[in-house]
Structures are given as structure tokens and as C-alpha cells.
Structure 1
Amino acid sequence: MALNLSNIKKAYFDKLFLVQNDTTATATTTSVSSNNSTPPSKIKPRVLLLDKYTTPIISMCYTQSELLANNIILIELLQNYHDLSSMKHLDCIIYIKPCQESVNDLRQELHNPHYGQYKLFLNNCIHKNQLESIAEADEYEVITKVIEIFQDYQIVNDNLYLVDTISSKQDVNPVLSESEKLISLLLALKKNPIIRYESNSIDLKRLSSELLYQINSNSNNNLFDDLNRYSDSPPLLLLLDRKNDPITPLITPWTYQSMIHEFLTIEKNIVHMTSDESSTNSNNSGNKNSQIIVSDENDPFYKESMYLNYGDLTDKFQKYVEKYKSETKQSSIDNLKTTNLSELKKILTKFPEFKKFSTNVLTHLNLISEIDKQITIQDLWDIGELQQAIACGLDNQQNLKERVLLVLNNTTNSNKRVSTINKIKLILLYSYRYNTPNDVSLFLQKLNDPTLTQPLPSSSQIQLIKRFKTLFGSNSIIDQQKLQNQNQNQGLTNIFANKKIDLNNLFNRNNPSHTVSDNIYLQYTPRLNEILAGLINPQPQSHQDGSLGLATLVPDKVKQQYGVHASDESVQDIIIYIKGGVTYEESRLIYELSESNKRINLIIGGDGILNSEMWLQKLYSMVTKFSDEPGHSHRASEDSHINRQTQLRDIL
């Protein structure tokens, strides 16, 4: 069974909104066949009651048109129960998270029900005492169904999910809340996995232990029984810590979805653009802000282009525009003068379709124009190439140092003043790769020069640069091995030095002399790639866990099904969770790995979707938190470096 989040989304839409002819309620995740459902035209209008946890889930998964097509005419928040209008002629679908906060609101609504009959859907497992309290409050017996479905997460793409960090007022254990959301995902996917986590992360050790406990506990309720019965090998839940790869979010991305998020920010599949950014849209010239929905579900061009690099994207968009011009020309006003009524009818029926086509072209024109504008303003053709060279060791250290100094001195070929943030990113990348404090001190001196840098870096930014190597340098075995290999091969890979690069050909995949690996802007691959390579093509177990830095936990049911050596099995289904945030570039990596190896099923998610600005803000907070810890403000002894790094890891 493929790991496809869109299939889950479709199954739960049917379960929530299609009226079944069979009225038996069962707590199951099985998709409901539309053949057993009542046609929407025969369903009377209904109200949908949500809480603050399920509202973003519904808004990201389903459009207003889809809800209206299934006679959902009104959507309200359950927490506003005291302000609801009484409409007894309407039935109600309640979809909430079974936390105490929402259960209390539901009890209040049941004491004074505003609607006719209620169907209660819960997006995760409900405790017995909560169910009993709901039953006690239902004195009018208006609830006709109570159904658990497992959707305590947000679906972004087919292969990308988001575990939201919204916390309940009653949450006292964030690890428990986080694990419950991941349990919900596992139950939706019908997977009982082996758990592997990075052994140097205290946060992941706590999370994995809680997950193992919940899986084994829920097995007593038969929730995880026989979930792997159709699998020859056990699935794998891979838990990673963002702090072990602080580099990936800092590097400028060059593929469509990633660039939109980097320059404009995607929030719940919505991009907010100001009037300046959307000025190419003449219809919006009077609006201060506009919203653009970017979803692969309802936008074929976006679905086909989201993983394309910038060069391929612009080529594809140009062809898209030409197609639009061609089709609209065929249906122009002049063609309406035809005397053939059937042809006239055909042209007129296509007008709404052309309007949609036109809007979509304009949407992507606005997005691509803003991306192009940011690339030019930030001088990213030069800065992005230097980022790749530093991260991948494409030049020797002395040359890279001189190139960074050129940027800090504003003496690059473009003669543009590089932004403070982009200068900071370059210094962080350099300090992570090379253990040369003197170079970093020189960079800081240049960065703090008001004649070279405006605005000057803040105290948090300066502290981050000073402590970045201590906080994150060589945190993992994989990073140490990767840097060692790159340093050994530096003489062989120094092929870009003193060569002028033709930017027009960098992205041209149609050029037979260029391959994907020739693209200077896509040289870097996230650390996740090395980890997955080790899991998909494993070494003997004792060597594998040591080389990947992973610890393993095996649930009881998995041991019973696959034996005590279950973790030695080859892996086919991998569910990845990155604590601290995932990037769209890692989602692209998952997509490309899945496309190149159909035997492997991969999905990825995290507790946030990062761009460089978001990640830098998190880094500033980490440094500030560390600085505020008692006893850590004055440490000058070089001998205390190792102990200090260990203490930092414990804090983080």
C-alpha cells in the first residue's frame, strides 16, 4: 500500500460529508465507497461545527466549493456556542479534536443544542472518561453517531504533512501531544512501524519512548493489530532533529514551491501578496493585499511545476502562456460572428474555462515575477552560487574565504550591496564547514563596519555567528564523514575556480552537455539524503546504526509478527518526521527518491515548514536561551569546549 496522503484526505472527506445508506457507525479509517452514499442533491442542508484545531485541517484539505457541493451551507466555531443561532431544521456535523478544551465546549452546546441531529467526528482517539462526559451532557439525545477518524495533522502535499504546534489550554506535556498527533498519522496510514531516532537528541529520545508506549498501549485496544498484515517488511518511522542539520534551511532554494516559500512565505497553502508584489495584476491595483492559493490539488500547472528548477520553470511558464494565447485567440470575439450555431455554442461554453485559465496564468505570472524580482534585488545569482560552493566544498578554503570577503566588502562583480541577512547566512555556512575562528572574527569585523553593512547586525545575530560552530558543528557522524570526504576530494572538485559561468545554460536540461548534477545551484543535497541511502541500502545492522547515528525501538506487535530481528529487515515504507521543522526542498528530495525507486514509499513531515527567515529566528531564540542560562555567560577556557558542547546539546 503506497503512502499517499491524498488518498487519506479523500477517504475522510467521504466519511465526514457523504451520507451513508447504512446507518451503522463504526470507528474505522476505511474509505467509504461513494456507491453506498446518498446523492448530494437529496441531502438536506447541514451545518459544520469545528474547533480551532480542526479548522486549519479542513481549510487545507477541502475547498468551500467541495463543502457546498455536499450541502454544507454554514461553518461555525464550537467555541462560539453562546453566540450560535438556533436552527433546529438543520442537522449538524461536529468535527473536533478530543482534547478537554473542545470536549467542554461540546458539553455546553449539548446542554442547549442549536440544531436538530448531531454527528460527532473526532480527529484522534478519545478517552473513555471523555466519552462518558459527552454522553452525560447529551440529555436531549441529539447525537446520532460518534466516529473516530485519524486526522490530527495537516496535509500539505501528497508526500508532505504538518504537525501543528497549536497547544491546548490543558496541555501540560507537549511531548504527549506531539506523540498523539503522530499516532493519528500512523493509524490513518495503517502502519505499525519500527521507530528509529537520532540517538544524540534528547527531545527525540523522549518522543520515541512516548510513541512506543502509546503504540503498545493502543495495541491492547486492537488499534494497531494487524496493521502490517499485507507488508512483507515492517514500516519505519524515522525521527530526525533539525538541530542535526542546521544548514539545509539556510541555503537559498531554486525550485518553484521552495522559492515561493522562501521569498513570499506559504502559510496553510496561502500566499499573501501586497499590492506592489501583485502589481502585474491590473484587476488588483486597488487592493492593498491579495491572497493566492497554491495547491497541487486544484492547479495542474502548479502540480506539474512545483519541483522544477527556476530555469525549467520559466520555460514551462512561457509555453503555458503561449497555449493560453493560442486557445483564447481561437475563441476571440471575431470568432463569435460565425453563423454555425453549434460552433457558437461550443465557444460560449468555453468562456468560464478560459476565465479560469486566465486567472491561473495571472496568478503564476505574479508569483514568478516576484521570485525574479527577489533574485535580482538580492543578487542571488552570485550569492546562491557561493552558498553552494561553500556547502559542497566546490572550491578550496582560501578561495572561498576571499569570495566571502568580496561580498562583505561589497566588491563583487555585480557591485551590489548584499543584504545583512545574506551576509550572515554566508558566514554561518562558512563557519559550519571550516573550523577557523580567525576567519570568523575577520568576517565579524567587516560585518560590524557601518560603511559596509546596513543595517548593522543585531546582538542576537552576532552571538549566533560566534556560537554557531559550538552549537551545531559536526553534531552527527554523517556530517563528520561528509565533511571529511569533501575535504579529501577538494582538489578534484575544484573545477569551478576561475571559470566564467554561463547563467543562460545553467538550468537547460535539454542541453546534452548538461545533466542535473551540472547545475551549480542544485549541487547541495540535504543531509536526509545520506540517511535514507543508508536505510534503503542497509549495511549489517551493527554497522548501520553506528554509521547513521540512529537508535531503534521495536513495538511488541512488530516483534510478534516479524521476530526479534525485525529491525534487520529491508525497508519499503518510510515515514519521516523532522522535529524543529521540515523544508520544501526535503519534500522535493522525497518526491524524487520515490519517483526513481518505485519499490520505496516515502512521506515526510515536521512541526513546521521552514524558510531561511523562520529558521534564523529559531536560531536567535536558541542562542538567547543559552545566553540566559546561569553559568554559561563567561567561558574562556579552551579545555572546556567539549563539556560546553555537551551541555549545549542537553539544553537544546
Structure 2
Amino acid sequence: MSLVQSVKNYIHKMITESEPGYKIMLMDKETTSFVSVVLGMSEVMRQEVYMFERLDQTSSGENMAYLKCLVYVRPVRENIELLVRELQKPRYGSYYIYFSNVVSKSDVKLLAEADEHEVVREVQEFYADFQALSPHLFSLNMPTYSAGLKWASGALHRTVQGVAGVLFSLQLLPTIRYQNNSEMARVLAENIRQTVLTESSLYQTSEAEGNTLLLILDRRDDPVTPLLQQWIYEAMVHELLGVASGRVSLGHVAGVADDLKEVVMSPAQDDFYARSMYLNYGEIGQTIKDLMEDYQKRLKKQQKVESITDMKTFVENYPEFKKMSGTVSKHVTVVGELSRLVGTFGLLGLSECQQELVCGSDHSLNLQRIYQLVPDPKVREVDAVVLVMLYALRHEGHPNNDTRGLIAALRKRSVSDHYLKLISSIMDYGGARARQSDLFGTQTPQDVSTIRKRLFKGLKGVDNVYTQHNPLLLETLGEVMKGRLREGAFPYCGNVPSTLLSRPQNVVVFMVGGATYEESQAVHQFNLTNPGVRVMLGGSTIHNSASFLASVEAAMDGLPRKTLRI
């Protein structure tokens, strides 16, 4: 069961089930991103797709009646209006319209009325209404999702459509549970349940019923994970360079070649990346070195063209060789830039402090180290602020809490008021009063399992000092698999099933407020170590620390302050 394969299958159906001949794909901004993260445009073009257009950027160009038009758009009002206009003055010979989710009968009627030239051959619903970033990870690409602590206008409907699209595409009929202290999670759960009931005819089999859990969580319960410096390749690239719809901008890198100013970083389109995305920083360096050595060996072989047979071999191998050359250039450039940033901003020392802060318990040592790093000119202003945020979250209830002293140190460094206000915002957003979880394991210090976890964490050794932290999600999944997820904390939406899911075969986790690549890597490892169980993770967006802080600021803007007064 793969989210990526599900979207690929839909696209393949669109292309192959229409009449043979050259086609154009007409998409909107969002569906363009849905396609681009799972398929390279050149791969789509090999299947008789002549060109791509955006529905919202088309102009009344030349008539191309010899082309068939595959329309793949979200069923929103703007797209319906644009399609009506397109059908009233059609530029193509025939139209095959595919909506990425359920479309209303009234909208279909509008299209039928506009089709006076009778060019529409087909209208179908394909439920690929999400970005499939990996086989187990999806995003709705919604950086802004809330107004205060309620759903922003249109955001709830979009989220319901996206999560329901995942369930419909994979034919999963779930039992739904949600985080009890989150009003947004409760409202989302109820709306998804109603949608699944209303559209029950979309399920072609009842096999998934009873073995699937949809678990809706709120980002506020774990505000720590998105703030931490990352050392797994995929997460590190997003944290330091930023990944948008499977693409990374390298235009700022000194001396970068033109063809490397924007590169694709998608496991569906880069085999090397698919094999390496979960390696840590040290491992990826060695892997890149091995890749380069393999490339250089092949290069020497390619240069030996001494006979007709050699020439034939060269021609046969050239496409693969060229692809390998591009892969080497891309990843050497990316890892080189990561290495530069790690050294320039002292990220190893900073990360070590972060990890000891959120995983350790020595308040005095943590405080001393933060006081050393805050004024360090090598440490970026935002990194110094994040350290203080992590301290404020971790030691919120400590009798010797010195958050105010650290804020004074930030002021001495001339940190902007914008960042100082964010410290108060993060505490209101994800402080102890906003959470239902024991995020730091401090509420039950004598619990045997808690002590054991801390002991083994301390024995992991120096090699793992930068990756001690495990996201709260991993603990929650463990409780799900043991059948110990407390109903008081995670109630059922609707009637409690007669046969409780003690060990569901499929778990779809949706994180209101955004997931992270660290959590994605944790889910990947969880799936590997729990055969027979398939966990998928989705979020409003996929955060790095910058996008997370922006979302916290947007969520808390205008709300009264309850904690720190900066």
C-alpha cells in the first residue's frame, strides 16, 4: 500500500484510458504539484502527453483541435468557472475531465450546459487530492490552516477533502479517534466521519472495515520536534535548504551551475535519494563518496572507445551514464552546501545542546550551556531564540526557571522584538497548559518504563548524541499497537466499535498543524520493525523550524497572552 503508487496509478489511468494520440494536460496549481512530486514531466511526456498548461494561466491561444485535453483539477469554485469558460470556447478537439475529489452534481450540470460544442468525452472523480511525498507520507501543502485556535476559512473543508481523498484512494474505511484536548482535531474528526458516511458508495469492498484506524493529532501536543536541528538527510535538507513540492533551490550557492539552481529531491524520481534519504549526516558523506568513485570508474570505461563494439556499448549506456552524472552533481552540491552551513553556524555544538536540553534532566548544565551559546556570534539569531524556546518548554515548571534571564541575554544581543514575542507565542501555543501529553516524561518520574527509556538513551553513545530525541508520535504509535491508547485522551468519533481495534493493520495519522520529516523517518522505521502493520502520516504541511515558527505566529496572532509577558 503506497501513497505514491496510488497517485501514479490515477495519472496512468488518465493517460491510457483516453483515446490514443497526442494529449495536453491542463492542471491547476495544486494538482501540478501532486503530479510533479511523483512523476517527472519527461516521464509523463513519454506517454503521448505533448505539453502541460495551467488552467488559471491559459489565454485564448491558437485552436489545437488535433489535440486531446486531459483536465486534472481540484473541484473548487474557481476551477469550475474556468472550465466553463474553456468549454464555451474550446481550443482542443476533446476533453477528458478528472476531478481530484468528489464533485457536486450542480457543478457537473454547469459543465454540461457549457459544453455546447460537445467536446467533453468523460468526467470522472480520481481521489488523488494530496501530495504523496513518499510511500507513507502525504501533505496538503497548507502552511496556513488556523485563525487563532480555530479552523481558518476554507481550511477545514480542504483538510476534510484531502484526508478523505487518502482514505478513498486506498479504499480504507476507518475507525476514527482524535486528540481530546484539541477542538480542531474533534471538529475535523466529525467532518471526516460525516464525509465517509455520505460517500460510502465509493468503497468497492468492505475488506478494510474494522482494520483501519484514522488517528487525528494536534501539532500543539509536540511543539519540540519541529524546532530541532536535523541530521537525517531528508530532514536536514528541508531544515537548512527548504524543500517545496519535491524541489530544492540552490540558486544562492556560490558558483552553482545553471542546471543545478533548482533540483528535484523526490524519492519517486531519484533512486539514489530514495536509498539515502534516511541516512544520517555522517553516513551520507560516505555514501556520496562511494557514488563519486563508482561514477569515476564508469567514466574511465566510457572514455575507452576503441572499436565499433565499444561505440555501440557507449551509445547504449549513455542515457544511464548521463543520469548518473546528474545525480552525482546534484548530491555533491547539496551535501557540500549542507556541510558549509553546519560549519558556518556551529550547528554541531548547537544541536548537541538542543538534544541534551530536551532529552536530559540537568537543568543547571543546560542553562549554563545556553548562556554560552546565546551571545556566540557564530550562532544565528534565530537559533539562539529557538534554544531559549526549547528551554522555556522543557523547564517550564522548574523552581529555578530562568527564562527571563535568557530573554535578557537575547535583548543584550539585540535580538529583534519579533523573535522575543515568539517566545511568548510558543508557550501559549504548546506550553504545559496547551498539551495533554507528558512530553518530557516529567509527570511520572518513578515510572519504570520511563526510567528504562532514559537509561538506554544514555547508553547509546557519542555516535548518536545528535539524534537522541524521538518524536512523541513514536510513543503514541507504540500505545496504539499495544491496544493501550487511552480513550479518555483519544476518544472515538461516533459509536465505539463493538470489536475494538487492539492491533489495526492500517493506521493513518493526520497531524493538524503540520508534520515533520523527523516524524516521517520515525514512521518509516516503525513500519520496518512492525511487519503486518502499515502506518501512513499526513499533515497540513511538512514543517521545518522556520515554517513552524511562522505557523505559530499566525495561529497565536491577536490572542490574549496567558504566560510570559515579554
- TM-score (structure 2 length as normaliser): 0.91
Q: Is the 8 A contact 2:28 2:54 kept in 1?
A: yes
Q: Percent identity?
A: 25
Q: Distance in 1 between matches of 2:456 and 2:161?
A: 50
- Relative to structure 1, the CA distance from residue 157 to residue 99 in structure 2 (aligned partners, 3 Å threshold; closer, same or farther) is same
- Relative to structure 1, the CA distance from residue 54 to residue 516 in structure 2 (aligned partners, 3 Å threshold; closer, same or farther) is farther
The equivalent of 2:199 in structure 1 is 218
Question: Which deviates further from its counterpart, 377-386 or 45-54?
Answer: 45-54
Task: Please state how far the C-alpha of 1:481 moved relative to its aligned partner.
Answer: 6.9
The equivalent of 2:147 in structure 1 is none
Q: 1:41-56 alignment to 2 at 5 Å?
A: 43-56=20-33
Q: Distance in 2 between matches of 1:320 and 1:528?
A: 34
Q: Does 1:423 align with 2:384?
A: yes
Q: Does 1:580 align with 2:513?
A: yes
The equivalent of 1:405 in structure 2 is 371
Q: Does 1:330 align with 2:301?
A: yes
Q: Secondary structure at the match of 1:307?
A: coil
Q: 2:532 aligns with which of 588, 595, 599?
A: 599
Unaligned runs of at least 5 residues, structure 2: 145-151
The equivalent of 1:199 in structure 2 is 180
Task: Please state how far the C-alpha of 1:71 moved relative to its aligned partner.
Answer: 1.5
Q: Is the 8 A contact 1:433 1:483 kept in 2?
A: no
Deviation string for 1:105-126 (max 9, x for gaps)? Answer: 1111211211111111111111
Q: Is the 8 A contact 2:215 2:507 kept in 1?
A: yes
The equivalent of 1:28 in structure 2 is none
Q: Match of 2:355, as an amino acid?
A: Q
Q: Secondary structure at the match of 2:386?
A: helix
Deviation string for 1:377-406 (max 9, x for gaps)? Answer: 11111110110001101x511111111111
Q: Distance in 2 between matches of 1:203 and 1:596?
A: 32
Q: Secondary structure at the match of 1:602?
A: strand
Task: Please state how far the C-alpha of 1:181 moved relative to its aligned partner.
Answer: 1.9
Q: Is the 8 A contact 2:72 2:97 kept in 1?
A: yes
Q: Secondary structure at the match of 1:479?
A: coil
Q: Distance in 1 between matches of 2:357 and 2:208?
A: 43
Higher RCO (C-alpha 8 Å, min separation 6): 2
Q: Match of 1:399, as an amino acid?
A: L
Task: Please state how far the C-alpha of 1:568 moved relative to its aligned partner.
Answer: 4.0
Q: Secondary structure at the match of 1:483?
A: coil
Q: Secondary structure at the match of 1:570?
A: coil
The equivalent of 1:30 in structure 2 is none
- Relative to structure 1, the CA distance from residue 61 to residue 353 in structure 2 (aligned partners, 3 Å threshold; closer, same or farther) is closer
Q: Is the 8 A contact 2:179 2:185 kept in 1?
A: yes
- Relative to structure 1, the CA distance from residue 486 to residue 382 in structure 2 (aligned partners, 3 Å threshold; closer, same or farther) is farther
Q: Is the 8 A contact 1:463 1:623 kept in 2?
A: no
- Relative to structure 1, the CA distance from residue 624 to residue 477 in structure 2 (aligned partners, 3 Å threshold; closer, same or farther) is closer
Q: Secondary structure at the match of 1:617?
A: helix
- Relative to structure 1, the CA distance from residue 378 to residue 126 in structure 2 (aligned partners, 3 Å threshold; closer, same or farther) is same
Q: Distance in 2 between matches of 1:492 and 1:211?
A: 36
Q: Secondary structure at the match of 1:239?
A: strand
The equivalent of 2:165 in structure 1 is 184
- Relative to structure 1, the CA distance from residue 162 to residue 485 in structure 2 (aligned partners, 3 Å threshold; closer, same or farther) is same
Q: Does 1:441 align with 2:404?
A: yes
Q: 1:223-238 alignment to 2 at 5 Å?
A: 223-224=202-203, 227=205, 229-231=206-208, 233-238=210-215
Q: Does 1:385 align with 2:348?
A: no
Q: Distance in 2 between matches of 1:245 and 1:621?
A: 17
- Relative to structure 1, the CA distance from residue 492 to residue 117 in structure 2 (aligned partners, 3 Å threshold; closer, same or farther) is closer
Q: Secondary structure at the match of 1:267?
A: coil
Task: Please state how far the C-alpha of 1:494 moved relative to its aligned partner.
Answer: 8.8
Q: Does 1:609 align with 2:542?
A: yes
Q: Does 1:354 align with 2:325?
A: no
Q: Match of 1:537, as an amino acid?
A: K
Q: 1:345 aligns with which of 312, 327, 334?
A: 312
Q: Match of 1:223, as an amino acid?
A: L
Q: Secondary structure at the match of 2:107?
A: helix
Q: 1:92-107 alignment to 2 at 5 Å?
A: 92-107=69-84
Deviation string for 1:260-288 (max 9, x for gaps)? Answer: 1111100111111125x253x5x44xx8x
The equivalent of 2:149 in structure 1 is none
Q: Is the 8 A contact 1:396 1:494 kept in 2?
A: no
Q: Does 1:465 align with 2:390?
A: no
- Relative to structure 1, the CA distance from residue 322 to residue 72 in structure 2 (aligned partners, 3 Å threshold; closer, same or farther) is same
Question: Which deviates further from its counterpart, 208-217 or 71-80?
Answer: 71-80
Task: Please state how far the C-alpha of 1:48 moved relative to its aligned partner.
Answer: 1.7
Q: Does 1:306 align with 2:304?
A: no
Deviation string for 1:333-370 (max 9, x for gaps)? Answer: xx22x3x4323422343233322222211110110011
Unaligned runs of at least 5 residues, structure 1: 22-42, 411-415, 498-513, 627-631, 636-640, 645-652
Task: Please state how far the C-alpha of 1:467 moved relative to its aligned partner.
Answer: 5.2
Task: Please state how far the C-alpha of 1:146 moved relative to its aligned partner.
Answer: 1.3
The equivalent of 2:265 in structure 1 is 294
